[in-house]
Structure 1
Amino acid sequence: MIPSTHPDALIAYTAAQGAAELISKRRAEYNLHALGVEHKSSTVDPVTVVDKESEQYIATYLRQQEPGVAILGEESQAGGSSNGTRRWIVDPIDGTVNFLYDAQAYAVSIALEVAGRIEVGVVHDVPAEITYLGVRGEGAWRLRQGQWQALQCSTPDGLASTLLATGFSYDAQRRSTQGALIATLLGQVRDIRRFGSAALDLCRVAEGSVDAYFEHGLNPWDVAAGSLIAEEAGASCTLPALDSFADDAALVLAAAPSVAQELAALLPKRI
């Protein structure tokens, strides 16, 4: 059972669980050189055969529940007509580089957009076997070791005590700009973490294992589910529109309300 009666929450949860099982099985079967690696925006932006299999599994399941529903997927951008109302946003493996190296931080992310607003989000941390769920207006929860727990973000008393997570672009020039920005922040926060999965970083804000997370130049599938989970756990979120993509280089920020305004003042809206 899940802690929400929202019917789409159960659909998203079930799809994420099934995809996670597929990913875990494939990771055990393949070594790094057998994963069918291709590249997208750059040579450091990989996609594997397992990303594609996971997205196909999720799309098939979602359309069994709702034939023809629109799906925005990272790998295939799977189409379908939303009629301006409903669309699923799917990242079949968020953190593909971590998946390649078996680096223990990659996730399935599934969100439901209704009339331009995210209503349901599920993020499943595959190696840790932890599921995060957010439902608009109901709250956010974490399933760990068979127990659901309501989530609440942290309350640091200032930037100096803020543990800050971030991520970096696949574009070399933008990474250099991001590195310079990080250098200006290092002396103002407790410390900085870089895990390699935007979806999980947002869930870490929700559970309080980091106090804030920011990154520029993300896609809707990177943040749709995780941002709702963070918001429902009480975090303050700054997000681009759902039609904004990585090339827009827009800011994504999720932070404990006690430091959100102070941190936002240090971050450009675009880089």
Structure 2
Amino acid sequence: MTNLDDLLRFALDAAREAGDLARRRRGEGVQIAATKSAAADIVTAADREVEALIRGRLAAERPGDGFFGEESGAEQGTTGITWVVDPIDGTVNYAYGIPEYAVSIAAVEGEPDPQHWQALVGVVYAPAMGELFHAVAGGGAWLDAGAGRVRLAVNDAPTEAGALVGTGFGYDPATHAGDLARLGRVMPLARDIRRIGSAALDLAGVAAGRLDGYFERGLNPWDHAAGALMVEEAGGVVGGLPGQRPSTALTIAAGPVLFARLEQAIDGR
């Protein structure tokens, strides 16, 4: 039987160590290692080093578990547990010295596919801000920061002024027109829009009530694995295209009332 406390303990320790490494490397200066889907979609040397650190800890402490990381791909395990890792979510922010970047680590059970897995533990650590978000299936979502530990809860419904909504845009210029059209359909629901640059922190922000809702096209599994669990454990709803789970086609997160309104607006109904 899976011990969730053990999974959480590992994820918290690994996220802290990895985040602290990322912060140190940022202070030493960022080296761009490569680009991925487009010229603007960068990988830093720190991304690779941080992911290697997490993989090394897993190999030493939980050698039977699987791994699914942004920089080094997937590796099937034997225990039924897979760790889904984004070593530095918000790499462009990181490269520019903007503090909104995070290490995202989730433990999931079952097939390593977000359409089928069950998330067990999620941790999002923002080292430049000293904030550690975490959630356990059935155990709520929490924030550890300077003031201590606080339980997270989504905002139940937007006010008359409208909802504060987060979003993002892909790196491929060919997708921007569609993204802007989708944003246009959401604007009647919004009091304002935030574009933070880290999906993991956007989702943690919804869980913490800092955002009323969030939507974005183009997210990969490592972008939302940890944050989606936080939203759900904070009382929110996470989905994708109507009736589906999050995917690269669409991710939506919000409290139940706003979720339904966002889903309807984005679908153009």
- TM-score > 0.5 by shorter chain: yes
- Give 5+ residue unaligned stretches, structure 1: none
Q: Aligned partners of 1:102 and 1:146: how far apart in 2? A: 25
> 1:18 and 1:177, CA in 2 relative to 1: closer, same or farther beyond 3 A?
same
Other-structure match for 2:76: 81
Whether 1:50 aligns to 2:46 is: yes
Contact preservation (8 Å) 1:143, 1:149:
yes
One-letter amino acid matched to 2:227: G
Alignment of 1:183-222 (within 5 A): 183-222=184-223
Other-structure match for 2:92: 97
One-letter amino acid matched to 1:85: G
Q: Aligned partners of 1:261 and 1:159: how far apart in 2? A: 17
Whether 1:61 aligns to 2:60 is: no
Other-structure match for 2:16: 17
Alignment of 1:128-207 (within 5 A): 128-145=129-146, 147-157=148-158, 160-207=161-208
| Secondary structure in 2 matching 1:223 | helix
Other-structure match for 1:26: 25
> 1:157 and 1:198, CA in 2 relative to 1: closer, same or farther beyond 3 A?
closer
- What TM-score comes out, normalization by structure 2 length? 0.90
One-letter amino acid matched to 2:60: Q
Q: CA deviation at 1:140?
A: 0.4
> 1:217 and 1:36, CA in 2 relative to 1: closer, same or farther beyond 3 A?
closer
Q: CA deviation at 1:185?
A: 2.3
Q: CA deviation at 1:86?
A: 1.2
One-letter amino acid matched to 2:226: A
Residue deviations 1:54-106 (CA, integer Å, cap 9, x gap) = 000011112211114211000011x4323472110000000000000011110
Q: Aligned partners of 1:226 and 1:205: how far apart in 2? A: 9
Q: CA deviation at 1:260?
A: 1.3
Contact preservation (8 Å) 1:134, 1:141:
yes
Residue-pair matches, total: 257
Other-structure match for 2:113: none
Q: CA deviation at 1:45?
A: 0.3
CA RMSD after TM alignment: 1.9
Q: Aligned partners of 1:43 and 1:236: how far apart in 2? A: 34
> 1:144 and 1:41, CA in 2 relative to 1: closer, same or farther beyond 3 A?
same
Q: Aligned partners of 2:171 and 2:80: how far apart in 1? A: 32
Contact preservation (8 Å) 1:159, 1:263:
no
One-letter amino acid matched to 1:131: L
> 1:238 and 1:158, CA in 2 relative to 1: closer, same or farther beyond 3 A?
farther
One-letter amino acid matched to 2:86: D
Other-structure match for 1:261: 260
> 1:190 and 1:13, CA in 2 relative to 1: closer, same or farther beyond 3 A?
same
Residue deviations 1:172-223 (CA, integer Å, cap 9, x gap) = 1112210122123223311111000000000000000110000111100000
Other-structure match for 2:103: 108
Contact preservation (8 Å) 1:159, 1:189:
no
Other-structure match for 2:34: 38
Q: Aligned partners of 2:4 and 2:107: how far apart in 1? A: 15
Q: Aligned partners of 1:179 and 1:43: how far apart in 2? A: 20
Q: Aligned partners of 2:54 and 2:79: how far apart in 1? A: 21
One-letter amino acid matched to 1:55: E
- What TM-score comes out, normalization by structure 1 length? 0.89
Q: CA deviation at 1:258?
A: 2.3
Q: Aligned partners of 1:11 and 1:222: how far apart in 2? A: 19
| Secondary structure in 1 matching 2:138 | coil
Residue deviations 1:122-144 (CA, integer Å, cap 9, x gap) = 00012101000010001000001
One-letter amino acid matched to 2:190: V
